[in-house]
Structure 1
Amino acid sequence: MRKSTVLNQLPQNNSLSLERIGIFSHLTPLQCNQIEQIGIIRHYNKGEIIFYEGNQSDYFHFLIEGEVSIFKSTASTETMLIHRFRAPSLVAEVATLKQVPYPASCEAIDSSIILKIARDPFLKLLQNDPSLSIALISSLTQKISALELSLQRHSAPNAMAKVARLIRDDIGIFQRLKGIEIAHLLGITPETLSRMIKKLKSEGIIEFSKKNGLNLLSSDKLNRCCG
Protein backbone atom coordinates (compact mmCIF):
# COMPACT_ATOMS: atom_id res chain seq x y z
CA MET A 1 0.00 0.00 0.00
CA ARG A 2 1.31 3.47 -0.87
CA LYS A 3 2.52 5.58 2.04
CA SER A 4 2.61 9.34 2.30
CA THR A 5 4.53 11.41 4.85
CA VAL A 6 5.00 15.16 5.09
CA LEU A 7 8.70 15.92 5.10
CA ASN A 8 8.73 18.00 8.27
CA GLN A 9 7.12 15.09 10.13
CA LEU A 10 9.96 12.74 9.28
CA PRO A 11 12.50 11.71 11.92
CA GLN A 12 15.51 14.04 11.92
CA ASN A 13 17.87 11.48 10.37
CA ASN A 14 15.59 11.27 7.31
CA SER A 15 15.64 15.03 6.75
CA LEU A 16 19.10 14.61 5.18
CA SER A 17 17.42 13.20 2.07
CA LEU A 18 17.54 16.65 0.48
CA GLU A 19 21.32 16.66 0.53
CA ARG A 20 21.38 13.55 -1.64
CA ILE A 21 19.79 15.42 -4.54
CA GLY A 22 22.39 17.45 -6.44
CA ILE A 23 20.07 20.37 -7.06
CA PHE A 24 19.63 20.80 -3.29
CA SER A 25 23.15 19.98 -2.10
CA HIS A 26 24.19 23.63 -1.73
CA LEU A 27 21.14 24.78 0.24
CA THR A 28 21.42 26.36 3.66
CA PRO A 29 19.43 24.94 6.61
CA LEU A 30 16.94 27.78 6.18
CA GLN A 31 16.45 26.96 2.50
CA CYS A 32 16.07 23.25 3.29
CA ASN A 33 13.40 24.17 5.81
CA GLN A 34 11.58 26.17 3.14
CA ILE A 35 11.64 23.15 0.86
CA GLU A 36 10.37 20.93 3.64
CA GLN A 37 7.38 23.17 4.15
CA ILE A 38 6.17 22.65 0.59
CA GLY A 39 7.35 19.05 0.10
CA ILE A 40 5.79 15.65 0.59
CA ILE A 41 7.62 12.35 0.75
CA ARG A 42 5.91 9.39 -0.93
CA HIS A 43 6.96 5.75 -0.84
CA TYR A 44 6.12 3.60 -3.87
CA ASN A 45 6.28 -0.17 -4.13
CA LYS A 46 7.57 -1.95 -7.23
CA GLY A 47 5.00 -1.68 -10.03
CA GLU A 48 3.10 1.28 -8.59
CA ILE A 49 2.21 4.12 -10.92
CA ILE A 50 3.57 7.48 -9.80
CA PHE A 51 1.60 9.44 -12.36
CA TYR A 52 -0.29 8.64 -15.54
CA GLU A 53 0.01 10.17 -18.97
CA GLY A 54 -2.50 13.02 -19.07
CA ASN A 55 -2.43 13.77 -15.32
CA GLN A 56 -2.02 17.40 -14.31
CA SER A 57 1.61 18.29 -13.54
CA ASP A 58 1.13 20.19 -10.31
CA TYR A 59 4.26 18.82 -8.60
CA PHE A 60 7.98 18.47 -9.21
CA HIS A 61 9.12 14.89 -8.59
CA PHE A 62 12.56 14.33 -7.05
CA LEU A 63 13.56 10.67 -7.00
CA ILE A 64 15.46 10.14 -3.74
CA GLU A 65 15.73 6.35 -3.70
CA GLY A 66 15.00 3.59 -6.21
CA GLU A 67 14.41 3.59 -9.96
CA VAL A 68 11.48 4.53 -12.18
CA SER A 69 10.56 4.12 -15.83
CA ILE A 70 8.85 6.61 -18.13
CA PHE A 71 6.60 5.01 -20.74
CA LYS A 72 3.87 5.81 -23.25
CA SER A 73 0.89 3.72 -24.26
CA THR A 74 0.50 3.10 -28.00
CA ALA A 75 -2.62 2.70 -30.10
CA SER A 76 -2.14 -1.08 -30.01
CA THR A 77 -2.33 -0.99 -26.16
CA GLU A 78 1.38 -1.81 -25.98
CA THR A 79 3.80 0.35 -24.00
CA MET A 80 6.90 2.10 -25.30
CA LEU A 81 9.62 2.56 -22.72
CA ILE A 82 11.08 6.05 -23.11
CA HIS A 83 13.63 6.24 -20.33
CA ARG A 84 14.65 4.97 -16.91
CA PHE A 85 15.80 7.16 -14.05
CA ARG A 86 17.84 6.10 -11.04
CA ALA A 87 18.08 8.09 -7.82
CA PRO A 88 18.95 10.81 -7.28
CA SER A 89 17.16 12.44 -10.20
CA LEU A 90 14.48 14.90 -11.26
CA VAL A 91 11.58 13.33 -13.13
CA ALA A 92 9.23 14.99 -15.66
CA GLU A 93 10.18 18.53 -14.68
CA VAL A 94 9.64 19.83 -18.23
CA ALA A 95 5.89 19.21 -18.09
CA THR A 96 5.70 20.74 -14.61
CA LEU A 97 7.54 23.88 -15.71
CA LYS A 98 5.37 24.24 -18.81
CA GLN A 99 2.24 23.52 -16.75
CA VAL A 100 0.98 20.94 -19.23
CA PRO A 101 -0.33 17.40 -18.56
CA TYR A 102 2.31 14.69 -18.27
CA PRO A 103 3.08 13.42 -21.80
CA ALA A 104 3.94 9.95 -20.48
CA SER A 105 3.38 7.73 -17.44
CA CYS A 106 5.83 6.95 -14.64
CA GLU A 107 6.14 3.62 -12.82
CA ALA A 108 8.32 2.49 -9.93
CA ILE A 109 10.66 -0.27 -11.12
CA ASP A 110 11.55 -1.14 -7.55
CA SER A 111 10.80 0.26 -4.11
CA SER A 112 11.24 4.01 -4.51
CA ILE A 113 11.01 7.21 -2.50
CA ILE A 114 9.98 10.44 -4.19
CA LEU A 115 9.92 13.98 -2.88
CA LYS A 116 6.97 15.86 -4.39
CA ILE A 117 7.15 19.64 -4.29
CA ALA A 118 4.24 21.88 -5.24
CA ARG A 119 5.08 23.77 -8.43
CA ASP A 120 4.08 27.37 -7.64
CA PRO A 121 5.78 27.67 -4.22
CA PHE A 122 8.92 26.04 -5.65
CA LEU A 123 9.06 28.47 -8.57
CA LYS A 124 8.97 31.32 -6.05
CA LEU A 125 12.03 29.82 -4.35
CA LEU A 126 13.80 29.65 -7.73
CA GLN A 127 13.31 33.40 -8.18
CA ASN A 128 15.22 34.03 -4.96
CA ASP A 129 18.04 31.53 -5.56
CA PRO A 130 19.87 31.85 -8.91
CA SER A 131 22.08 28.82 -8.15
CA LEU A 132 18.99 26.66 -7.69
CA SER A 133 17.68 27.89 -11.05
CA ILE A 134 20.97 27.03 -12.76
CA ALA A 135 20.90 23.52 -11.28
CA LEU A 136 17.38 23.04 -12.62
CA ILE A 137 18.44 24.24 -16.09
CA SER A 138 21.33 21.76 -16.01
CA SER A 139 18.92 18.95 -15.19
CA LEU A 140 16.63 20.00 -18.04
CA THR A 141 19.56 19.99 -20.48
CA GLN A 142 20.49 16.45 -19.48
CA LYS A 143 16.87 15.31 -19.90
CA ILE A 144 16.66 16.81 -23.38
CA SER A 145 19.84 14.99 -24.40
CA ALA A 146 18.52 11.70 -23.00
CA LEU A 147 15.22 12.17 -24.85
CA GLU A 148 17.01 12.89 -28.13
CA LEU A 149 19.05 9.68 -27.80
CA SER A 150 15.91 7.69 -26.99
CA LEU A 151 14.10 9.05 -30.05
CA GLN A 152 17.12 8.28 -32.24
CA ARG A 153 17.13 4.66 -31.08
CA HIS A 154 13.39 4.21 -31.63
CA SER A 155 13.66 5.74 -35.12
CA ALA A 156 16.47 3.37 -36.16
CA PRO A 157 15.68 1.50 -39.41
CA ASN A 158 16.08 -2.00 -37.93
CA ALA A 159 16.86 -4.00 -34.80
CA MET A 160 20.59 -4.08 -35.46
CA ALA A 161 20.72 -0.29 -35.73
CA LYS A 162 18.83 0.04 -32.44
CA VAL A 163 21.28 -2.23 -30.61
CA ALA A 164 24.32 -0.62 -32.22
CA ARG A 165 23.15 2.89 -31.32
CA LEU A 166 22.57 1.85 -27.72
CA ILE A 167 26.08 0.39 -27.49
CA ARG A 168 27.47 3.59 -29.01
CA ASP A 169 25.53 5.89 -26.68
CA ASP A 170 25.52 3.95 -23.39
CA ILE A 171 27.66 0.82 -23.38
CA GLY A 172 27.47 0.61 -19.59
CA ILE A 173 23.76 -0.18 -19.74
CA PHE A 174 24.63 -3.78 -20.60
CA GLN A 175 26.07 -4.14 -17.11
CA ARG A 176 23.34 -2.20 -15.32
CA LEU A 177 20.30 -3.86 -16.86
CA LYS A 178 19.16 -7.37 -17.69
CA GLY A 179 18.73 -8.42 -21.31
CA ILE A 180 14.94 -8.43 -21.08
CA GLU A 181 15.01 -4.86 -19.75
CA ILE A 182 17.30 -3.68 -22.53
CA ALA A 183 15.07 -5.34 -25.12
CA HIS A 184 12.04 -3.56 -23.65
CA LEU A 185 13.91 -0.27 -23.75
CA LEU A 186 14.65 -0.78 -27.46
CA GLY A 187 11.20 -2.06 -28.36
CA ILE A 188 12.45 -5.46 -29.56
CA THR A 189 12.14 -9.00 -28.21
CA PRO A 190 14.83 -10.52 -25.95
CA GLU A 191 15.40 -13.16 -28.65
CA THR A 192 16.08 -10.46 -31.23
CA LEU A 193 18.48 -8.70 -28.88
CA SER A 194 20.34 -11.97 -28.31
CA ARG A 195 20.67 -12.55 -32.08
CA MET A 196 22.00 -9.03 -32.65
CA ILE A 197 24.59 -9.41 -29.88
CA LYS A 198 25.73 -12.76 -31.31
CA LYS A 199 26.04 -11.22 -34.77
CA LEU A 200 28.12 -8.32 -33.47
CA LYS A 201 30.36 -10.80 -31.63
CA SER A 202 30.80 -13.00 -34.71
CA GLU A 203 31.83 -9.98 -36.78
CA GLY A 204 34.47 -8.99 -34.23
CA ILE A 205 32.74 -5.73 -33.30
CA ILE A 206 32.20 -6.50 -29.61
CA GLU A 207 33.14 -8.91 -26.87
CA PHE A 208 30.36 -9.99 -24.55
CA SER A 209 30.03 -12.35 -21.62
CA LYS A 210 27.91 -12.47 -18.47
CA LYS A 211 31.05 -12.26 -16.37
CA ASN A 212 32.88 -9.42 -18.13
CA GLY A 213 29.98 -7.54 -19.71
CA LEU A 214 30.22 -5.87 -23.12
CA ASN A 215 33.39 -4.39 -24.60
CA LEU A 216 33.63 -2.52 -27.89
CA LEU A 217 36.37 -3.75 -30.25
CA SER A 218 35.72 -1.66 -33.37
CA SER A 219 34.04 1.75 -33.27
CA ASP A 220 34.19 2.10 -37.06
CA LYS A 221 32.37 -1.17 -37.69
CA LEU A 222 29.81 -0.35 -34.99
CA ASN A 223 29.07 3.05 -36.53
CA ARG A 224 28.36 1.35 -39.85
CA CYS A 225 25.73 -0.75 -38.08
CA CYS A 226 23.99 2.30 -36.62
CA GLY A 227 22.18 3.03 -39.88
Structure 2
Amino acid sequence: MALNPSLHDSSTSLDKVGIFSHLTPKQRKQIEEIGIIRHYNENEIVFYEGDQSDYFHFLIDGEVSIFKSTASAETMLIHRFRAPSLIAEVATLKQIPYPASCEVLHSAVILKISRDPFLNLLQNDPSLSIALISSLTQKISALERSLQRHSAPNAMAKVARIIREDHHMFTRLKGIEIARMIGITPETLSRMIKKLKSEGIITMSKSDGIILLLPEELSRYCGE
Protein backbone atom coordinates (compact mmCIF):
# COMPACT_ATOMS: atom_id res chain seq x y z
CA MET A 1 0.00 0.00 0.00
CA ALA A 2 1.51 3.29 -1.11
CA LEU A 3 1.01 6.42 0.96
CA ASN A 4 1.13 10.05 -0.05
CA PRO A 5 1.25 11.99 3.25
CA SER A 6 -0.45 15.07 1.84
CA LEU A 7 -2.73 16.34 -0.90
CA HIS A 8 -0.58 19.23 -2.05
CA ASP A 9 0.42 17.43 -5.25
CA SER A 10 -3.04 15.88 -5.78
CA SER A 11 -5.36 18.86 -6.13
CA THR A 12 -7.46 17.13 -8.77
CA SER A 13 -8.28 14.39 -6.26
CA LEU A 14 -10.49 16.73 -4.28
CA ASP A 15 -12.41 17.59 -7.44
CA LYS A 16 -13.54 13.96 -7.69
CA VAL A 17 -15.24 14.10 -4.30
CA GLY A 18 -18.62 15.73 -4.86
CA ILE A 19 -18.93 17.41 -1.47
CA PHE A 20 -15.61 19.18 -2.04
CA SER A 21 -16.32 20.47 -5.54
CA HIS A 22 -17.37 23.92 -4.28
CA LEU A 23 -14.37 24.50 -2.01
CA THR A 24 -12.64 27.85 -1.98
CA PRO A 25 -8.82 27.91 -2.13
CA LYS A 26 -8.75 28.52 1.61
CA GLN A 27 -11.04 25.56 2.34
CA ARG A 28 -9.03 23.36 -0.04
CA LYS A 29 -5.90 24.20 1.88
CA GLN A 30 -7.63 23.26 5.13
CA ILE A 31 -8.55 19.85 3.70
CA GLU A 32 -4.99 19.35 2.46
CA GLU A 33 -3.72 19.92 5.97
CA ILE A 34 -5.89 17.24 7.57
CA GLY A 35 -6.12 14.67 4.75
CA ILE A 36 -3.90 11.95 3.32
CA ILE A 37 -4.16 9.92 0.13
CA ARG A 38 -3.72 6.15 0.32
CA HIS A 39 -3.34 3.83 -2.67
CA TYR A 40 -4.64 0.31 -2.10
CA ASN A 41 -4.03 -2.87 -4.08
CA GLU A 42 -6.54 -5.57 -4.97
CA ASN A 43 -7.98 -7.46 -1.96
CA GLU A 44 -6.37 -5.11 0.57
CA ILE A 45 -8.40 -4.36 3.68
CA VAL A 46 -9.14 -0.69 4.31
CA PHE A 47 -10.49 -1.40 7.79
CA TYR A 48 -11.77 -4.39 9.71
CA GLU A 49 -15.06 -4.82 11.52
CA GLY A 50 -14.43 -3.60 15.07
CA ASP A 51 -11.63 -1.16 14.21
CA GLN A 52 -11.86 2.34 15.67
CA SER A 53 -13.45 4.83 13.25
CA ASP A 54 -10.99 7.69 13.56
CA TYR A 55 -11.13 8.72 9.89
CA PHE A 56 -13.60 9.64 7.20
CA HIS A 57 -12.91 7.63 4.04
CA PHE A 58 -13.59 9.22 0.65
CA LEU A 59 -13.30 6.74 -2.22
CA ILE A 60 -11.74 8.72 -5.08
CA ASP A 61 -10.96 5.93 -7.56
CA GLY A 62 -11.82 2.25 -7.73
CA GLU A 63 -14.37 0.05 -6.00
CA VAL A 64 -14.68 -1.53 -2.55
CA SER A 65 -16.94 -4.08 -0.90
CA ILE A 66 -18.39 -3.87 2.60
CA PHE A 67 -18.87 -7.23 4.30
CA LYS A 68 -19.61 -8.77 7.70
CA SER A 69 -18.38 -12.01 9.20
CA THR A 70 -21.06 -14.49 10.23
CA ALA A 71 -21.10 -16.96 13.11
CA SER A 72 -20.25 -19.76 10.67
CA ALA A 73 -17.05 -17.94 9.59
CA GLU A 74 -18.59 -17.01 6.24
CA THR A 75 -18.76 -13.48 4.88
CA MET A 76 -21.95 -11.64 4.04
CA LEU A 77 -21.59 -8.94 1.39
CA ILE A 78 -23.44 -5.81 2.50
CA HIS A 79 -22.77 -3.44 -0.36
CA ARG A 80 -20.29 -2.39 -3.03
CA PHE A 81 -19.25 1.22 -3.51
CA ARG A 82 -17.80 2.73 -6.66
CA ALA A 83 -15.94 6.03 -6.74
CA PRO A 84 -16.71 8.72 -5.91
CA SER A 85 -18.30 7.75 -2.62
CA LEU A 86 -18.12 8.11 1.15
CA ILE A 87 -17.51 4.91 3.10
CA ALA A 88 -18.78 4.07 6.60
CA GLU A 89 -19.30 7.70 7.57
CA VAL A 90 -22.10 6.77 10.00
CA ALA A 91 -19.68 4.93 12.29
CA THR A 92 -17.20 7.80 12.09
CA LEU A 93 -19.84 10.37 12.94
CA LYS A 94 -21.12 8.32 15.87
CA GLN A 95 -17.56 7.54 16.98
CA ILE A 96 -18.25 3.82 17.22
CA PRO A 97 -16.19 0.89 15.87
CA TYR A 98 -16.78 -0.01 12.24
CA PRO A 99 -19.74 -2.43 12.08
CA ALA A 100 -18.35 -4.16 8.98
CA SER A 101 -15.09 -4.62 7.07
CA CYS A 102 -14.02 -2.88 3.86
CA GLU A 103 -12.04 -4.66 1.13
CA VAL A 104 -10.64 -3.20 -2.08
CA LEU A 105 -11.71 -4.70 -5.39
CA HIS A 106 -8.93 -4.49 -8.01
CA SER A 107 -7.34 -1.23 -6.76
CA ALA A 108 -8.49 1.99 -5.13
CA VAL A 109 -7.45 5.47 -4.08
CA ILE A 110 -8.93 6.71 -0.82
CA LEU A 111 -8.73 10.11 0.83
CA LYS A 112 -8.59 9.73 4.61
CA ILE A 113 -9.48 12.72 6.78
CA SER A 114 -9.17 12.82 10.56
CA ARG A 115 -12.60 12.94 12.17
CA ASP A 116 -12.36 15.81 14.65
CA PRO A 117 -10.70 18.37 12.33
CA PHE A 118 -13.22 17.54 9.62
CA LEU A 119 -16.16 17.96 12.00
CA ASN A 120 -14.80 21.40 12.84
CA LEU A 121 -14.89 22.27 9.14
CA LEU A 122 -18.51 21.09 8.93
CA GLN A 123 -19.50 23.55 11.65
CA ASN A 124 -18.17 26.41 9.57
CA ASP A 125 -19.51 25.26 6.20
CA PRO A 126 -23.25 24.42 6.05
CA SER A 127 -22.96 23.26 2.42
CA LEU A 128 -20.52 20.54 3.46
CA SER A 129 -22.97 19.43 6.16
CA ILE A 130 -25.82 19.23 3.65
CA ALA A 131 -23.71 17.16 1.25
CA LEU A 132 -22.80 14.78 4.07
CA ILE A 133 -26.47 14.39 5.01
CA SER A 134 -27.25 13.56 1.38
CA SER A 135 -24.58 10.84 1.42
CA LEU A 136 -25.99 9.41 4.65
CA THR A 137 -29.47 9.28 3.11
CA GLN A 138 -28.13 7.29 0.16
CA LYS A 139 -26.38 4.88 2.53
CA ILE A 140 -29.60 4.30 4.46
CA SER A 141 -31.39 3.48 1.21
CA ALA A 142 -28.61 1.07 0.22
CA LEU A 143 -28.78 -0.63 3.61
CA GLU A 144 -32.56 -0.97 3.36
CA ARG A 145 -32.20 -2.64 -0.04
CA SER A 146 -29.57 -5.01 1.33
CA LEU A 147 -31.79 -5.96 4.27
CA GLN A 148 -34.73 -6.56 1.92
CA ARG A 149 -32.63 -8.92 -0.20
CA HIS A 150 -31.35 -10.91 2.78
CA SER A 151 -34.79 -11.10 4.39
CA ALA A 152 -36.36 -12.71 1.33
CA PRO A 153 -38.06 -16.03 2.23
CA ASN A 154 -36.23 -18.17 -0.34
CA ALA A 155 -33.57 -18.14 -3.06
CA MET A 156 -35.98 -17.28 -5.86
CA ALA A 157 -37.28 -14.30 -3.92
CA LYS A 158 -33.71 -13.05 -3.42
CA VAL A 159 -32.97 -13.33 -7.13
CA ALA A 160 -36.26 -11.72 -8.13
CA ARG A 161 -35.72 -8.80 -5.76
CA ILE A 162 -32.21 -8.05 -6.99
CA ILE A 163 -33.37 -8.19 -10.62
CA ARG A 164 -36.20 -5.81 -9.81
CA GLU A 165 -33.81 -3.53 -7.92
CA ASP A 166 -31.05 -3.35 -10.54
CA HIS A 167 -31.10 -5.74 -13.48
CA HIS A 168 -28.17 -3.82 -15.04
CA MET A 169 -26.04 -5.29 -12.25
CA PHE A 170 -25.74 -8.45 -14.32
CA THR A 171 -23.66 -6.58 -16.93
CA ARG A 172 -21.29 -5.13 -14.30
CA LEU A 173 -20.75 -8.05 -11.93
CA LYS A 174 -19.93 -11.73 -12.25
CA GLY A 175 -22.48 -14.31 -11.21
CA ILE A 176 -20.35 -15.38 -8.26
CA GLU A 177 -20.29 -11.78 -6.99
CA ILE A 178 -24.06 -11.37 -7.29
CA ALA A 179 -24.64 -14.71 -5.57
CA ARG A 180 -22.41 -13.63 -2.70
CA MET A 181 -24.28 -10.35 -2.45
CA ILE A 182 -27.61 -12.07 -1.87
CA GLY A 183 -26.33 -15.00 0.17
CA ILE A 184 -26.83 -17.93 -2.20
CA THR A 185 -24.50 -20.18 -4.20
CA PRO A 186 -23.62 -19.40 -7.83
CA GLU A 187 -25.25 -22.69 -8.82
CA THR A 188 -28.52 -21.67 -7.17
CA LEU A 189 -28.40 -18.28 -8.87
CA SER A 190 -27.92 -20.00 -12.23
CA ARG A 191 -30.93 -22.29 -11.62
CA MET A 192 -33.19 -19.39 -10.63
CA ILE A 193 -32.16 -17.37 -13.71
CA LYS A 194 -32.79 -20.40 -15.92
CA LYS A 195 -36.27 -20.83 -14.43
CA LEU A 196 -37.18 -17.17 -14.99
CA LYS A 197 -35.94 -17.40 -18.58
CA SER A 198 -37.94 -20.57 -19.23
CA GLU A 199 -41.10 -18.83 -18.04
CA GLY A 200 -40.47 -15.86 -20.35
CA ILE A 201 -40.14 -13.41 -17.45
CA ILE A 202 -36.63 -12.35 -18.44
CA THR A 203 -34.19 -12.78 -21.29
CA MET A 204 -30.44 -12.60 -20.94
CA SER A 205 -27.41 -12.02 -23.14
CA LYS A 206 -23.71 -11.29 -22.58
CA SER A 207 -23.96 -7.86 -24.19
CA ASP A 208 -27.25 -6.64 -22.68
CA GLY A 209 -27.36 -8.58 -19.44
CA ILE A 210 -30.88 -9.23 -18.12
CA ILE A 211 -33.88 -7.69 -19.85
CA LEU A 212 -37.06 -7.76 -17.81
CA LEU A 213 -40.01 -8.76 -19.99
CA LEU A 214 -42.78 -9.38 -17.44
CA PRO A 215 -42.37 -7.12 -14.37
CA GLU A 216 -45.65 -8.19 -12.80
CA GLU A 217 -44.74 -11.87 -13.05
CA LEU A 218 -41.34 -11.15 -11.49
CA SER A 219 -43.02 -9.36 -8.57
CA ARG A 220 -45.01 -12.52 -7.92
CA TYR A 221 -41.73 -14.23 -7.02
CA CYS A 222 -40.48 -11.49 -4.70
CA GLY A 223 -42.19 -13.00 -1.67
CA GLU A 224 -43.84 -9.81 -0.44
TM-score range, shorter chain: over 0.9
Residue matched to 2:146: 150
Aligned residues of 1:72 and 1:104 also touching (Cα < 8 A): yes
Aligned residues: 223
Aligned residues of 1:40 and 1:117 also touching (Cα < 8 A): yes
Aligned residue identity for 2:199: E
Residue matched to 2:73: 77
Cα distance in 1 for partners of 2:22, 2:156 equals 44
Structure 1 position 92 matched with structure 2 position 92: no
Q: Alignment identity in percent?
A: 75
Aligned residue identity for 1:102: Y
Deviation at 1:198, TM superposition (A): 0.7
Residues 123-138 of structure 1 mapped to structure 2, 5 A cutoff: 123-138=119-134
- The SS at the match of 2:103 is strand
Structure 1 position 191 matched with structure 2 position 187: yes
Deviation at 1:211, TM superposition (A): 2.3
The structure 2 residue matched to 1:211, chosen from 189, 207, 223, is 207
Cα distance in 1 for partners of 2:136, 2:168 equals 22
Aligned residues of 2:171 and 2:207 also touching (Cα < 8 A): no
The structure 1 residue matched to 2:106, chosen from 104, 110, 124, is 110
Cα distance in 2 for partners of 1:211, 1:68 equals 24
Residue matched to 1:7: 6
Structure 1 position 56 matched with structure 2 position 52: yes
Residues 175-190 of structure 1 mapped to structure 2, 5 A cutoff: 175-190=171-186
Deviation at 1:127, TM superposition (A): 0.5
Aligned residue identity for 1:5: N
> What's the TM-score, normalizing by structure 1?
0.96
Residue matched to 2:18: 22
Residue matched to 1:165: 161
Deviation at 1:169, TM superposition (A): 1.0
Cα distance in 2 for partners of 1:210, 1:151 equals 29
Which segments of 5 or more consecutive residues in structure 2 lack a partner in the other structure? none
- The SS at the match of 1:133 is helix
Cα distance in 2 for partners of 1:6, 1:18 equals 15
Cα distance in 2 for partners of 1:65, 1:83 equals 17
The structure 2 residue matched to 1:33, chosen from 23, 29, 35, is 29
Cα distance in 1 for partners of 2:177, 2:48 equals 21
Aligned residues of 1:61 and 1:115 also touching (Cα < 8 A): yes
- The SS at the match of 1:110 is strand
Aligned residues of 1:7 and 1:15 also touching (Cα < 8 A): no
Deviation at 1:15, TM superposition (A): 1.5
TM superposition outliers: structure 1 runs of 4+ over 3 Å? none
Name the stretch that deviates more: 27-36 or 61-70. 27-36
Aligned residues of 1:68 and 1:109 also touching (Cα < 8 A): yes
Deviation at 1:172, TM superposition (A): 1.5
Residue matched to 1:220: 216
Cα distance in 1 for partners of 2:175, 2:197 equals 16
